[in-house]
Structure 1
Amino acid sequence: MKKEEKFGTKLLLLLVMLALSIVFVAPFVMHGIHMEDDLSFHIERIRELAQNIAHGNWNPHYYTYEFWKMGYPLGVFYPQIMMLPFAGSALMFKSVTSGIYFGIGFYTFSTLYVMYFVVNRILQQKTAAFWSAVLYTFSCYRMLDILARFAVGEFIAMVFVPLAFYGLYAVFTDQKRKWLYLPIGLALVLLSHLLTALMVILIMALLVVILLPFVHQRKIKLVHLFKSGLLFSGCSATFLVPFIHEMTYQAIVTPKGNPIDQHIFTIKNIFFSTLINSNQRFGQVSKWNSQVAAYYTIGLVLLIVALLGIFYFKRLKMVSKIALICGSVLYFSTYFGSIWTLLFDTPLRIVQFPYRFFSLATFGLALVGGNLAELMINSVTRKWLVQAVLAIVIGGTWMWGAHTYYATAGPQQDFATIVPSWRTDQYTPKKAQPVIGQIVHHQARVDGHLIQLKSNEIQSVPDGFVFKNAEFKGAKRVILPICNYAGLKVYQNGYEIPKLVTQNVEVEIQKSKSTEIKVLYRTTWGTILGNLISIITWIFCLVFLFRH
């Protein structure tokens, strides 16, 4: 009987999470998706992956169907494994829009489940775990990530951030084998979004330096941290090996972000955006106060959590106290632009935007919020009333936040009309910048003459192109409109031929013997080894973690 009741409770919890996931997707279905910060970039990624999946290639390194068909190695420079639910469902439903809705719903359900699992393990309270999961999933910044920013990688990474921090918690609390959640969680974050992984590692490093002197058995904890680092590298090798290979092969143009002063707003802007739980785009003039501009924020509910956390500080569990301090520092530091001006003169500049740390602040404060909810619910007899108030406050502010966005959003986007708007100089060789325009417009050079290749003369194939032109045959020198990368190989008549590289890093062949030239991005032995290491490491981690 007890087993049946336990199963029924778990099933009910999963059904509630499923219902909440549908609620989260509802505004997107009702109001559509609008052209925002990174939308066109990620739509093209989804379409590229879908095209490759349709041809049996689940992990393309070299994008050839989208991005002007210029040969873009985003599969090397951007983690893409976690994008497969978006691309696979887009292919299954024959609609990119439906694929996006499914992907958002899938990762919303995953966020609820992972956060519930983590907080339940840490606080040992199911009520606290549930409300932490709701606070985290329906947080203002998470909604901003997918609504106003359409930062899909960061949105997905927020699923696994709690898992990584639970692993660190397990290291410090000597939980047998549970420290394995640290490398597993970190690897999942990295395979979602590289910069989020770097931020998590930075915050974890600071926590280790601060907390390690105050704990017992420091050597054992350091050993677990060292092993976690090795296992994290192994789990991530499938991405890290080709990434490092291409980054060290030649100088690559990477995003630098705007000057830091463009991302530092006045206290009035930040505080007002937080008070109204704004989901408006960064810098947009507020519809409710023309004197302020919108700033990305953690939202009103988590600000209240931070303030209540100070009031209830003595009653909070130790882990909640640490989470409160970390989350509050990450949020309130944005009120002081001089701090970020100094930090962005360091390698931390790679983060690009200070508000990116709000994903970590959101996790910390959501954990505190669950602890506070449990304290409040247990302090009254009418527990249902407190939970009803929590649901109304969280749900109401979340709905209002979505309204602030849609009330000022631009026109709904027709994905069929999307053309590349992303900066195509990024993730291309620095030496190729003078000829990027020719590459984008598919202008080849044959024996010194510029030739405009027509669309039917460029055939996209998984991880490659087939170029066809009558003037190729017999030409002494053919310069193709693509940049060279370490994994590119050139073929004619079914055989690999020598690949030459111009001073502008374009692919060149000499003494062409055919009207057809095939270029493929081949998996190197290093990449194969990286994939093998990842598979072995993942199997080891999961078997060792769950063998009992």
Structure 2
Amino acid sequence: MAYRLFAIFLNIVVVWSTYLIFGRIFQSRQVGMLSAALWTLCTYRLDDVYSRGAVGEWIAMLFFPVLLLGVVSVVFPERRGSVKHGGLVCAFSAAGIVTSHVISTELTVIAILPILIWAMWYRRRSIYFWKQLGIACGMTVVLSSFFLIPMLDYSIHGNFQVYNQSLPTQMELAVRKAIEPGQLLTLFLPLSQMTEGHAFQGDIPYSIGWALIACALLLPIITLLTKSKESSGRKCSIAVPLCVSIIFGLSMTTTLFPWGSRKFAAACKFLYSIQFPTRMLGPACFLIVVLGAMGLSTLRGNEQFGRLSSLVFSLLLVLGCLEGGVTTSTFMYNAKEEQAVDVSLATSSGVAGGEYLIKGTDLGSLFAEGFKAGNPKATEGVHVSRYEKRGTSMSMYIESSQKGTVTLPAFAYDNYRISDSGGDETLNLGSTQGTENLLTIQVPKGFSGEVQVRYRVPFVWRVAEIISLLGWIGCGVLYANEARLRRRKSI
């Protein structure tokens, strides 16, 4: 129920924010409404929200429209609808994507790279552009450093499974999960519920959707048919890198892309970190929405065919709603009650594939050994009582008649520290290693006393948190001050 309410609330946020941002950029309520409908009802986004429950990924998608507003404001600051401090808007949205879903960060960079290269050439003589681009990059790091620094720290020093996958294994997964090109063109996709831990073990209905395809064709058709060239030069010029991004992104999802090439894999190993090529559908479909918005905006301002804009808007809106309606209604019909949590968690897939567990960890064996109850285990001659766990801190009373080990129901990640009531530091932390990788306490003979095991956050992490906090406060003060100046000016 909590997830349902969360999804409802964020769906409302997606609809409203997309409508406002697209309506502002293109100065049209029609464009805003159509863009909000097509993006919200995009089949891949709906699959993320309902079938897969890919929370981080579809929260990252929430920031795509905000990033668009920032990019437009940086590249076209004089355009009506652009906002001041476009670089900060880019930084805010980028920080949202980074902290929501790391893989979506890579997907977003890949998607906008052709557009960014074009913008750097198009605005190569603009000091304002380069200044805002620097602000966007620098403030993204500042605003998200509270997350980036710990993540990079553990990426370097943590022996996680995700960083120990062989290239052939990554290649095999990418090849297996790429889809056939024809699947992108499917109309009216039913959506089925995937059982916990099996979201990628069968075919999931992936498609661009006919409404988005029709939207993508609007601008090229108008450009070919129109005789008037007024104000279309800029739209056509930016449409070229936009189309390149869309075509490249869609090709990455299919078997046409050289995922199985060893030479390609050796040169572009970083691409395989996205795991599932179909993830590229998210940013690709959003860029199609942008292209469609440009097409409808151009149609509305066209002297020859402008009178058809309301009809085209209505047809696309109805088609988009029909497609989204089929997807969501079939999911509601097919959905079944989930398994009990303690059963589904007995596999590594129960924690998103176990990528961020320590290398070699097998959850199935852990649950089979009785750790489901979450209590420590002690060897013969060692007795544990009054065990209590609060957050990342564990306390207990230990007595030992002989040397032994206490195994705690916590993974042996870095930064755990131990202390005892005697303060003589006779206890040491270790790890079971192997398939368990659980935290252990080495207990000497004749020990008795209160023991506490705490997770101690490194000093560098705290510095990163302070940097991010100051960055957010600074942005808030800047916008509050400018709002005050605007009110004073209006008065």
Instruction: Give me the whole-angstrom Cα distance separating, in 1, the residues matched to 2:241 and 2:474.
Output: 32
**How is 1:426-505 mapped onto 2 (pairs within 5 angstroms)?**
426-430=355-359, 433=361, 437-438=365-366, 441-442=370-371, 446=378, 449=380, 459-467=388-396, 472-481=399-408, 482-493=410-421, 497=425, 499-502=428-431, 504=433
Letter in structure 1 aligned against 2:108:
V
Instruction: Give me the whole-angstrom Cα distance separating, in 2, the residues matched to 1:332 and 1:281.
Output: 26
Match of 1:358 in 2: 281
2:58 to 133, 143, 155: 155
1:216-253 deviation per Cα after TM superposition (whole angstroms, max 9, x unaligned): 42554334323322211111111112222223333221
Letter in structure 2 aligned against 1:312:
I
- How far does residue 354 in structure 1 lie from its aligned partner after superposition? 1.1
Matched, 1:207 2:115: yes
Query: 1:265 and 1:177, CA in 2 relative to 1: closer, same or farther beyond 3 A?
Result: closer
1:372-425 deviation per Cα after TM superposition (whole angstroms, max 9, x unaligned): 344556756697665543442221111112244455x46222666664144465
Q: Which moved more, 1:198-207 or 1:188-197?
A: 198-207
SS in structure 2 at match of 1:528: helix
Query: 1:332 and 1:277, CA in 2 relative to 1: closer, same or farther beyond 3 A?
Result: farther
CA contact (8 A) 1:172 1:215 kept: yes
Matched, 1:139 2:42: yes
Letter in structure 2 aligned against 1:143:
L
**How is 1:528-543 mapped onto 2 (pairs within 5 angstroms)?**
528-543=462-477
1:368 to 288, 291, 297: 291
Matched, 1:236 2:144: yes
Q: Normalised by the size of structure 1, how large is the TM-score?
A: 0.69
Match of 1:178 in 2: 86
Query: 1:435 and 1:179, CA in 2 relative to 1: closer, same or farther beyond 3 A?
Result: closer
Instruction: Give me the whole-angstrom Cα distance separating, in 1, the residues matched to 2:403 and 2:313.
Output: 77
Match of 2:337 in 1: 412
- How far does residue 184 in structure 1 lie from its aligned partner after superposition? 0.8
CA contact (8 A) 1:163 1:181 kept: yes
- How far does residue 538 in structure 1 lie from its aligned partner after superposition? 1.3
- How far does residue 334 in structure 1 lie from its aligned partner after superposition? 3.4
SS in structure 2 at match of 1:465: strand
2:260 to 311, 335, 341: 341
Gaps of 5+ in 2: 79-83, 195-201, 227-231, 483-491
CA contact (8 A) 1:277 1:401 kept: yes
Match of 1:264 in 2: 178
CA contact (8 A) 1:270 1:294 kept: no
Instruction: Give me the whole-angstrom Cα distance separating, in 1, the residues matched to 2:29 and 2:291.
Output: 14
CA contact (8 A) 1:473 1:514 kept: yes
Instruction: Give me the whole-angstrom Cα distance separating, in 2, the residues matched to 1:140 and 1:483.
Output: 38
Instruction: Give me the whole-angstrom Cα distance separating, in 1, the residues matched to 2:50 and 2:363.
Output: 35
- How far does residue 135 in structure 1 lie from its aligned partner after superposition? 1.2
CA contact (8 A) 1:493 1:514 kept: no
Query: 1:405 and 1:300, CA in 2 relative to 1: closer, same or farther beyond 3 A?
Result: farther
Matched, 1:306 2:225: no
1:276 to 147, 163, 188: 188
Matched, 1:509 2:442: yes
- How far does residue 190 in structure 1 lie from its aligned partner after superposition? 1.1
- How far does residue 187 in structure 1 lie from its aligned partner after superposition? 0.1
Instruction: Give me the whole-angstrom Cα distance separating, in 2, the residues matched to 1:150 and 1:450.
Output: 46
Instruction: Give me the whole-angstrom Cα distance separating, in 2, the residues matched to 1:210 and 1:387.
Output: 30
Instruction: Give me the whole-angstrom Cα distance separating, in 1, the residues matched to 2:178 and 2:158.
Output: 34
Gaps of 5+ in 1: 1-96, 283-291
Match of 2:229 in 1: none
Letter in structure 1 aligned against 2:7:
I
Letter in structure 2 aligned against 1:327:
I
Letter in structure 2 aligned against 1:532:
I
How many residue pairs match? The answer is 434
Instruction: Give me the whole-angstrom Cα distance separating, in 2, the residues matched to 1:489 and 1:324.
Output: 53
Identical-residue share of aligned pairs (%): 17
- How far does residue 159 in structure 1 lie from its aligned partner after superposition? 0.5
Q: CA RMSD in A?
A: 3.7
SS in structure 1 at match of 2:63: helix
Match of 2:489 in 1: none
SS in structure 1 at match of 2:440: strand
Matched, 1:254 2:180: no
SS in structure 2 at match of 1:519: strand
Instruction: Give me the whole-angstrom Cα distance separating, in 1, the residues matched to 2:50 and 2:413.
Output: 34
Instruction: Give me the whole-angstrom Cα distance separating, in 2, the residues matched to 1:310 and 1:450.
Output: 79
Instruction: Give me the whole-angstrom Cα distance separating, in 1, the residues matched to 2:382 and 2:314.
Output: 69
Instruction: Give me the whole-angstrom Cα distance separating, in 2, the residues matched to 1:142 and 1:335.
Output: 18
1:506-526 deviation per Cα after TM superposition (whole angstroms, max 9, x unaligned): 433333744654322233322
Q: Rg bigger for which structure?
A: 2
2:455 to 500, 521, 528: 521
- How far does residue 337 in structure 1 lie from its aligned partner after superposition? 2.8
